[in-house]
Amino acid sequence: MSNGTFNIDAELADLQTELDTAKDFVRWNPPAGSYDCLIDKVVQASQEKDGTTFPVYKPFFKILEADDLDGDTFSRWFGFTPGKGRKFQLVELMALARAINNGEEVGTIKDAVDLLIGASDAADVIVGVTVSYRQYGTPDDEGHLKTACNFTYKAVATASA
């Protein structure tokens, strides 16, 4: 409220902006399978953990020509949190960059990030993404195991090719 008046249009616009930002952090993964995907966008941010700030890259993949999933979007989070899991994310980022680079190796992490951002900006880069799931860990009290989602990537083409 400002000066005794309430501007519902402004409030709704603010809520829409908040929703649009929140969508960048929603996680959904498609069922196990292989999909041709357009690299739709990349969200770049930084995060802090235990006094250390590190970069985060979150590419969004738009599924192409997959019946019920056509046009659905999922994402992968590359947050280079210090610790044992970081090396796996770095290797996966390099695999994604190799797919973006038509199967050619990429020399540095900076090159990989530049390729990822460039693919998002180009809006025509398609990669093959295979999604698989595995269960691990010790069963909880109900007998459930944790489930991890794994991604692998392969070069496909560009929409303009």
pLDDT (tens digit, 0 to 9) for every residue of the chain, 161 residues total?
Answer: 455 688 888 888 878 877 766 655 567 889 999 999 999 999 998 888 888 888 999 999 999 987 889 899 999 989 888 877 788 889 999 999 999 999 999 999 999 999 999 999 998 999 999 999 999 999 888 888 989 899 999 998 655 44
In the chain, where the domains are located: 30-158
Distance CA(44)–CA(99), nearest Å, equals 20
Alpha carbon 128 to chain centroid distance? 14
Entry pTM: 0.78
The label of the residue with tokens 């090396």 reads 87
